Amino acid sequence: MKQIGVIGAGSWGTALAITLSGKGHQVKIWDVNPEHLKELSENRENVRYLPGIKFNDNLQIAKTVEEAVSGAGLVIFSAPAQHFRSALENAMPYLKPEMILVNVAKGIEQKTLLRMSEIAFDKLPDAKYVVLSGPSHAEEVGRNLPTTVAAACKDLALAEEVQDIFITERFRVYTTEDVVGVELGGALKNIIALAAGISDGMGFGDNAKAALMTRGLAEIKRLGLKMGADPATFAGLTGVGDLIVTCTSMHSRNRRCGIMIGEGMDPKEATEKVGMVVEGMFTTEAAYDLSRREQVEMPITEQLYNVINGKTSAADAETLLMGREKKHELG
C-alpha cells in the first residue's frame, strides 16, 4: 500500500481519494481554498462538490501542500487544467525524484497551447509522469460504480505501476504509451460536449448529437495525427469513450453549460451558473489557436469559439456547419 498525496479537492480529486483510500492506501488531500479544507475536515465529506459520500479513516485532510506531498510515493494533481502549472510549482519544493506524478486534469493551457505533460516536463524534465484519463464522472466513481480508464506514460512499466496502484474490482485501468493522444482526446472532447449541449438546448434531436459527436471525433483525430498521436487511441477509452460519456450525461458540466447557452443564456452567465470549472470554455479558445497554428481544419471548434466570443449566434453557427462545402466523409 502507498502513501498518496492529492492536490485539488474538487469532485474528481475527491472521488479518486475515496477510491484509493478504500483500497487501503493512506491518502492525504489538500486544496488551495482554506475554507473548503475546513469544510472537508468538519464534515468528513465533500459537501460542496461530491455530497453524500463519507470519507473513511485512510483519507485525511492536509492543512498544507507540504503535508500532503511529503513522504508520498505518488502524488495526484487534480487542479483544473488552467491551474496545473501553479499547482505543480507550489508542490515542487516538496517533490522527490522517486515520486510518481499522476495528472488527471483534461485541458490545453491557454496562450502557451501546451498539454499538461509538456508543462510538467518543462518544469521537471526527469519526472515520473503519468496521465490518467477516460470516461469517468466523479459522481459515479465516488459511489463505486463500474468505471474504466487508461494510464498513459511513455515508460510502459511506470504506467503499469500506476495501473496496479489504482485498479480495483470497480475501477479498471488499462495502459498505453500514447500520452499525446490521451491528453488531446481528454481535452478536446469537452469542446464537443459543449456543442452537444448547445444542440440539446436548441431542441435538436439525437441525429444532430450523433453528427456532432462523430464529426467532432474526426476533427479531434485530425489534430491528434498532426501532433503525433496514435490514431487507434481515438477509438478507445480516452477518445470515443470519453466523448460519449461527456456528450450524453447530465453529470457533464460542459454539456450542462452548453444546454443553457443553447437555450439563449449568455456563455459567461451559463458558466457561472454551473458552479464549477467548465474546462471546455477554456479548451475551445486554446484548441482554436492550436488548429490555426497547426493548420488543421476544425469547423465545430471554430464555430463554438465564435459563439463563446459573441461573434455569432448558436443558430447561425448551426446554419454555417450544415451549409459547409460538400466533402467525402473520410477526407
User: Catalytic site residues?
Assistant: 189
Helix, strand, or coil (residue 170): coil
Cite the beta strand spans of the chain per DSSP E.
3-7, 26-30, 45-46, 50-54, 59-61, 74-77, 100-103, 128-133, 147-152, 171-176
Which residues fall within 8 angstroms of residue 153, CB to CB, at 6 or more apart? 129, 130, 131, 159, 162, 175, 177, 179
| Residue 326 grid cell | 460538400
How far is Cα 248 from Cα 1, in angstroms, rounded to an integer? 36
Half-sphere CA count of 20, side-chain side, radius 13 A: 28
Closest alpha carbon to 138 in 241, 51, 56? 51
Closest alpha carbon to 271 in 287, 258, 286? 258
